[in-house]
Structure 1
Amino acid sequence: MPQTKDDLPDALYSAAQVRELDASLIAAGTPGFELMQRAARATWRALVRQWPTANELTVLAGHGNNAGDGYLVAVLAQRAGWQVRVLAVGEPQRLQGDAARAYAEALAEKVPIENGSAQSELRGIVLDALLGTGLTGEVREPYASVIAAINASELPVVAVDIPSGLCADTGRVLGGAVRADLTVTFIGLKVGLFTGDAADVVGELVFNDLHADPQLLENAASTARRLNSGILPRLAARAPTSHKGKFGHVLLIGGDRGFGGAILLSAQSALRSGAGMVSVATRSEHVPAALARIPEAMVLGTSSANQLMQLLEKVSVLVVGPGLGQAAWGRSLLSAAANAPLPQVWDADALNMLAEQQVTLPKDCVITPHPGEAARLLGISTAEVQADRAAAAHALSKKYTAVVILKGAGSLIASPDGRLSLCHQGHPAMATAGLGDVLAGLVGALLAQGMQAFDAACLAVWLHANAGLQQGKFGRGLAASDLIPAIRQLLEEQAPCLK
Structure 2
Amino acid sequence: MSQPDGLFDTAAARRIDAQATAALGGDGYLLMQRAGQAAWQCALQYWPQARRVVVVCGPGNNGGDGYVLARLARQSGRAVCVLHLPGHAPRTPLAQRACTDYLAIGGQVELAPDCLREADLVVDALFGIGLDRAPDAEAAQLIDAVNAAAAPVLALDVPSGVDADSGAVPGAAIHAARVLQFIVPHRGLHTGAALEHAGQRLLATLDVPAQAFDGIAPAASRWSEALLPAQLPPRRINTHKGESGHVLCLGGNHGSGGALMLCAEAALRSGAGLASAATRPAHVAPLLARCPEAMAHAVEDAFDLAPLLARAGVVALGPGLGQDDWARRLWAAALDGGRSLVVDADALNLLAQQPQPLATAVLTPHPGEAARLLGVDVAAIQRDRFAAAQALVERFTAVVVLKGAGTVVAAPGQRPRVIAAGNPGMAVGGMGDLLTGVIAALLAQGLSPFDAASTGALLHGLAGDAAAADGQRGMLPRDLLPHLRARANP
Q: What is the TM-score when the length of structure 2 is the normalising length?
A: 0.96
Q: Which residue of 1 aligns with 2:236?
A: 239
Contact 2:221 2:417 in 1 (8 A): yes
Name which of 459, 471, 481 aligns with 1:484: 481
Q: Distance in 2 between matches of 1:118 and 1:160?
A: 22
Residue 464 of structure 2 corresponds to residue 468 of structure 1: yes
After TM superposition, give the deviation of residue 94 of structure 1 in Å.
4.4
Residue 6 of structure 2 corresponds to residue 14 of structure 1: no
Q: Which residue of 2 aligns with 1:177?
A: 173
Name which of 285, 289, 307 aligns with 1:310: 307
Deviates more, 1:47-56 or 1:251-260: 47-56
Matched to 1:346, the amino acid is V
Contact 2:319 2:433 in 1 (8 A): yes
Q: For each residue in 1:382-432, what CA deviation from the matched residue of structure 2 results, as whole angstroms up to 9, or x when unmatched?
A: 000000000000110111010000000110000111321111321121121
Q: Which residue of 2 aligns with 1:453?
A: 449
Change (3 A) 1:92 1:108: farther
Matched to 1:25, the amino acid is A
SS in 1 for 2:339: coil
Q: Distance in 2 between matches of 1:193 and 1:134?
A: 14
SS in 2 for 1:57: strand
Contact 1:338 1:360 in 2 (8 A): no
Contact 2:23 2:211 in 1 (8 A): no
Q: For each residue in 1:205-237, what CA deviation from the matched residue of structure 2 results, as whole angstroms up to 9, or x when unmatched?
A: 110111022454375222101112334551343
Matched to 1:138, the amino acid is A
Contact 2:54 2:83 in 1 (8 A): yes
Contact 2:90 2:99 in 1 (8 A): no
SS in 2 for 1:404: strand
Contact 1:118 1:145 in 2 (8 A): no
Q: Which residue of 2 aligns with 1:38?
A: 34
Contact 2:399 2:411 in 1 (8 A): yes
Q: Which residue of 1 aligns with 2:103?
A: 107
Residue 130 of structure 2 corresponds to residue 137 of structure 1: no
Q: How does 1:74-473 map to 2 (within 5 A)?
A: 74-89=70-85, 91=87, 93-117=89-113, 121=117, 123-214=119-210, 216-217=212-213, 219-232=215-228, 233-357=230-354, 360-473=356-469
Matched to 1:18, the amino acid is A
Matched to 1:261, the amino acid is G
Q: Distance in 1 between matches of 2:173 and 2:35?
A: 21
Q: Distance in 1 between matches of 2:214 and 2:453?
A: 25
After TM superposition, give the deviation of residue 49 of structure 1 in Å.
1.3
Change (3 A) 1:305 1:218: farther
Q: Which residue of 2 aligns with 1:25?
A: 20
Q: Distance in 2 between matches of 1:247 and 1:207?
A: 40
Matched to 2:391, the amino acid is A
Matched to 1:462, the amino acid is L
SS in 1 for 2:192: coil
Change (3 A) 1:235 1:50: same
Change (3 A) 1:239 1:425: closer
After TM superposition, give the deviation of residue 449 of structure 1 in Å.
0.5
After TM superposition, give the deviation of residue 95 of structure 1 in Å.
2.0
Q: For each residue in 1:147-188, what CA deviation from the matched residue of structure 2 results, as whole angstroms up to 9, or x when unmatched?
A: 111112232111111100000001111211000111111111
SS in 1 for 2:30: helix
Percent of matched pairs sharing the same residue: 43
SS in 2 for 1:225: strand
Q: Distance in 2 between matches of 1:119 and 1:379?
A: 48
After TM superposition, give the deviation of residue 93 of structure 1 in Å.
4.4
Q: Distance in 1 between matches of 2:222 and 2:452?
A: 15
After TM superposition, give the deviation of residue 443 of structure 1 in Å.
0.3
Contact 1:266 1:437 in 2 (8 A): yes
Contact 1:195 1:424 in 2 (8 A): no
SS in 1 for 2:252: coil
After TM superposition, give the deviation of residue 323 of structure 1 in Å.
0.5
Deviates more, 1:48-57 or 1:163-172: 48-57
Contact 1:117 1:142 in 2 (8 A): no
Contact 2:52 2:118 in 1 (8 A): no
Change (3 A) 1:408 1:188: same
Q: Distance in 2 between matches of 1:226 and 1:219?
A: 20
Tell me which stretches of 4 or more aligned residues in structure 1 moved more than 6 Å: none
SS in 2 for 1:95: coil
Contact 2:263 2:434 in 1 (8 A): yes
After TM superposition, give the deviation of residue 361 of structure 1 in Å.
4.9
Contact 1:280 1:299 in 2 (8 A): yes
Contact 2:58 2:89 in 1 (8 A): no
Contact 2:154 2:180 in 1 (8 A): yes
After TM superposition, give the deviation of residue 119 of structure 1 in Å.
9.3
Change (3 A) 1:231 1:128: same
Contact 2:224 2:421 in 1 (8 A): no
Contact 2:405 2:423 in 1 (8 A): no
Contact 1:235 1:451 in 2 (8 A): no
Higher helix proportion, which one?
A: 2
Q: For each residue in 1:81-121, what CA deviation from the matched residue of structure 2 results, as whole angstroms up to 9, or x when unmatched?
A: 11111112254644221111000001101112111358975
SS in 2 for 1:158: strand
Q: Which residue of 2 aligns with 1:497?
A: none
Matched to 1:207, the amino acid is L
Matched to 1:394, the amino acid is Q
Residue 55 of structure 2 corresponds to residue 52 of structure 1: no
Contact 2:19 2:213 in 1 (8 A): no
After TM superposition, give the deviation of residue 122 of structure 1 in Å.
5.4
**CA-based RMSD:** 1.6
**Unpaired runs of 5+ in structure 1?**
494-499
Contact 2:266 2:481 in 1 (8 A): yes
Change (3 A) 1:93 1:216: closer
The total of aligned residue pairs comes to 487
